[in-house]
Amino acid sequence: MKVDRRSFLGLGIGAVAGIAVSPVGAKLTDDFSIWTQNWPWTPVPPDGEVSYDRSVCNLCPGSCGITVRKIDGRPVKIEGLDTYPVNDGGVCLHGIAGLQYLYDPSRVKTPLKKVNQRFVPISWDEALAMVTGRLKQLQEDQNPEALACITGSAQGSVPGLFNHFMAAFGSPNCLTMPDLESWLVLTATTLHGPKQTLGFDIDHSDYILSFGAGLIDGWGSPVACIQAMAGRKQREATLVQIEPRLSNTAAGADRWIPVKPGTEADLAMGMCGVLLKENLFDPVFAQGFTGGFMRFTAMVQKEYPLDKVAEVTGVSADDIQKTAIAFAKAKMPVALPGKGRGEGAQSLKEFAAVHTLNCLTGNINKKGGVFVKPLPDYLSFPDPVIDDMAQKGAAAEPLAASVQELMARIDQSDQSPVEVLVVYNANPCFALNDPSRVAAAFEKIPFKVCVSPYMDETAMASDVILPVSTFLEQMEDVPSRAGLAASVVGLARPMVKPVFDTRSPGDVVIALAGALGGGVAQSFPWENYEDCLKQLAGQIWKPLTRKGHVIVSGRPPAGSVETDFSFLAENPDTLKPAGDQEFTLIPIDNFRVPSTVPAPSPFAIKTVSDRILKGTDMFVEINPQSANHLKDGGFATLTTPAGSVRVRVHFNDGIMPGVIGMVKGLGHTLNNRYVSGKGVNINALISPTIEPGSGMDAAYGIRAGISKA
């Protein structure tokens, strides 16, 4: 057919008219626009009945009360619990992010055993049988003391059950990771006698002299401390912050006194000297001074004269004198030890010297002062059934006074004195100084059991992983710790059924004990953990379950306190940061980055500044005055005696010249891409130094060099 002009136009007009009139075009456009508004892959959270449930957060020693908002039983939001005696409605970012830990990609979903360096899922029966088999072997070898146990904290019924197990099994090697509470217990033991701890009534004190304690940076019970600091200005209480870097606490303080890192103990001794010289100590309280007070006085006058202390610490003699006098003349002064969060490597000398300031003012067991209080004893454990072997094993000399010392000892041995190691709720392969040596020590231990909800660095170095529930999935008593004045016990309750094939750690210990038989099994007469907790808690069980918490004591402890000065009178050495390079590298405790267990949540990592972490690069802080040829934001190589890393430089005017600061708690290698592989673990750059008096690692910082990369 020939297409002439007429038919071409006719067809063309017809087509145009047809398309215009036809609904197809409009329909297609409509369909297309609807299609672009469809997001089937975007989740639509199911709606349902709203309910609120209450529990206690167990993520840090803070022990805050929480409420959990649920939709048809599904938890969607965690908030602070009003009127809870620790936090009164307050909460921190880690508690709110608790639900992320529930579904954390690094959660261990089922028991695992290591076969050829890979983890293979196994049943609970098989896992428990593997562990009991190893333990029975130790019993057959008459060598129960070759079992060692590391727990993240010493308080509460679950660490108590681990201790009870160790006692019944017959091993003295049960150790706790160094947290603030363990340092406070050690300090109280050294100065006031055993089985005591310290609580600080900062809510009422009118003069707080903080030796680096990060009161709003996560020290102690973080929310309680932040609340105390928020009310501080209204109370007209003074805060003097002594530390080498302008932390957030220092920025909010009335006065910041920069001090050379690692000389805080000397400064505290110098201030003690001022109080003694000016006769500013409390004569009534001094009646309880025993154990070489005169020797201590003579030693301080001789070894810590003001000009010498001024030179060592970098604080002027005038400042030391004035601050010490202002402290002593305040009505309710409190001196706080524990740099940053107060956990990890600290120093007994420093804790003791700072607390001696409290003892000299006599503001002990008074409102607004320091409470020397007995360790919580609301749990009544039965005496373990101890057979001959257990008795012999328990009488053996403990291998070490601290986890760090134990790891160093194993690392240096040809054959590990520990044959079976149980780790609960602790991550020594990340949180201790020089974790590569800790991992090497782990290699030497024939059998490691990790009782943990997460596949963290320590779990990865273990042979068997027994996955336990998180605090939202189980019942557990949560005693307040970490320097709180009041002693409160809370009850964490299951907010949701266990998401994975996990058990409560208490049940794990009871099952292990039952499978072992003999005296160990007899020491654990409970059906399950809930039954156990009910019996251990005794009289407080009812109020605990009804109210969710019990205030064990809120008032200053009664009775006189004896103070023994013999430890300090010997003038133990102040440990200097190791090495001889130009700078001192110090760890920074950042509120948003937890540095022990658990690792930071994805939300917490999201809030970290891009001047701490950029991509996978880690920043270090340095004062521009001492930065020489370094550039702000530029790359540099940071070298310490323990190692060398590539970092980026962040100029911060608020850090002492000559000091380099690095945030602690980053550089994880666990199986969670939102958290791991980011930055550097500062612990890898610091070699541990065991303090002679305490047996604890006291290496807070190390000498370092930095050069342009």
For other proteins, how many residues bind (rule: CB under 8 A)?
A: 76
DSSP string, 109-143: -S-EEEETTEEEE--HHHHHHHHHHHHHHHHHTT-
> Site map for other proteins, 94-133, x if CB under 8 A?
--xx-xx-xxxx----------------------------
Q: Whole-angstrom Cα distance, residue 104 to residue 453?
A: 10
Helix, strand, coil % in the chain, rounded to nearest 5: 35, 20, 45
Return the residue of 58, 87, 365, 584 that touches other proteins, per CB under 8 A: 87
Give 298's contacts (C-beta < 8 A, 6+ positions apart): none
151: left (phi over 0), alpha (psi -120 to 50) or beta: beta
Q: Binding to other proteins by residue 46, rule CB under 8 A?
A: yes
Interaction residues for other proteins, span 134-153 (CB under 8 A)? none
Interaction residues for other proteins, span 47-76 (CB under 8 A)? 47-48, 69, 71, 74-76
Residue with tokens 């956990």: 343
- Output the smallest distance, CB 27 to other proteins, in A: 21
**Which is nearer to other proteins, 7 or 316 (by Cβ)?**
316
**Which is nearer to other proteins, 58 or 171 (by Cβ)?**
58
Q: Binding to other proteins by residue 93, rule CB under 8 A?
A: yes
- Output the smallest distance, CB 41 to other proteins, in A: 6
**Which is nearer to other proteins, 78 or 271 (by Cβ)?**
78
Q: Whole-angstrom Cα distance, residue 179 to residue 47?
A: 42
Q: Binding to other proteins by residue 270, rule CB under 8 A?
A: no
Instruction: Report the 10 Å Cβ neighbour count for 41.
Output: 5
- 3-class SS at 144? helix
Interaction residues for other proteins, span 204-263 (CB under 8 A)? 216-217, 222-223, 226-227, 229-230, 233, 246, 248, 251-252, 256, 258
> Site map for other proteins, 614-643, x if CB under 8 A?
xx-------xxx------------------
**Which is nearer to other proteins, 514 or 654 (by Cβ)?**
654
- Output the smallest distance, CB 660 to other proteins, in A: 14
Cα distances (Å, whole numbers) of residue 629 to 79, 170, 513, 658: 48, 59, 62, 14
- 3-class SS at 95? helix
Q: Binding to other proteins by residue 390, rule CB under 8 A?
A: no
- Output the smallest distance, CB 114 to other proteins, in A: 24
Q: Binding to other proteins by residue 44, rule CB under 8 A?
A: yes
Round to the nearest angstrom and report the end-to-end CA distance of the chain.
80
> Site map for other proteins, 480-509, x if CB under 8 A?
-------------------x----------
Return the residue of 35, 37, 558, 580 that touches other proteins, per CB under 8 A: 37
Q: Whole-angstrom Cα distance, residue 565 to residue 527?
A: 47
Q: Find out whether 203 and 483 touch, Cβ atoms under 8 Å.
A: no
Q: Whole-angstrom Cα distance, residue 352 to residue 192?
A: 11
Q: Binding to other proteins by residue 671, rule CB under 8 A?
A: no
- Output the smallest distance, CB 603 to other proteins, in A: 5
Interaction residues for other proteins, span 674-703 (CB under 8 A)? 674, 678
- Output the smallest distance, CB 67 to other proteins, in A: 10
Q: Which two tokens stand for residue 526?
A: 């409970």
Rounded to the nearest 10 degrees, the angle between the axes of helix 505-516 and helix 529-537 is 100
Q: Whole-angstrom Cα distance, residue 674 to residue 604?
A: 10
